[in-house]
């Protein structure tokens, strides 16, 4: 099954994505196929959100962590990267 841009938009609307959010996709799912990921990327661009798509093998390793624990694993919020690493901030991002 190939994901249409319209269907991807509806899917993302249900997810209620915000700037800085991460969308996790299981590697063995239909959404993880290269063509579907490309459509999701385009749909995310169209809704104007700054978020990431991450493909994972299993959700068992994904759990809710506080920001300090996430930083220890190398995960940082966009505002931290902009402030500390000199990456240019996108004016659409108010995080």
Q: What is the pLDDT, as a whole number, of residue 68?
A: 77
Map residue 52 onto helix, strand or coil. strand
The DSSP bridge partners found for residue 56 are: 26
Q: What is the pLDDT, as a whole number, of residue 21?
A: 82
CB atoms within 10 A of CB 59: 9
Cα–Cα dist 42/74, whole Å: 26
For 18-30, give the DSSP string: -TT-EEEEETTSG
Q: What is the pLDDT, as a whole number, of residue 15?
A: 83
Q: What is the pLDDT, as a whole number, of residue 39?
A: 92
Q: What is the pLDDT, as a whole number, of residue 93?
A: 46
Cα–Cα dist 2/35, whole Å: 7
pLDDT tens for the chain, residues 1 to 95: 788 999 988 888 888 888 878 888 888 988 889 999 999 889 988 988 888 888 888 776 566 667 777 777 667 666 666 666 654 545 454 44
pTM for the whole structure: 0.60
């Amino acid at each position: 099954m190939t994901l249409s841009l319209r269907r991807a938009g509806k899917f993302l609307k249900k997810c209620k994505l915000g700037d800085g959010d991460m969308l996790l996709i299981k590697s063995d799912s239909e959404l993880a196929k290269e063509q579907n990921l490309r459509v999701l990327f385009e749909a995310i661009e169209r809704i104007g959100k700054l978020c990431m798509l991450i493909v994972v093998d299993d959700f068992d390793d994904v759990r809710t962590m506080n920001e300090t624990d996430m930083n220890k694993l190398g995960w940082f919020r966009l505002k931290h990267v902009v402030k500390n690493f000199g990456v240019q901030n996108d004016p659409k991002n108010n995080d």
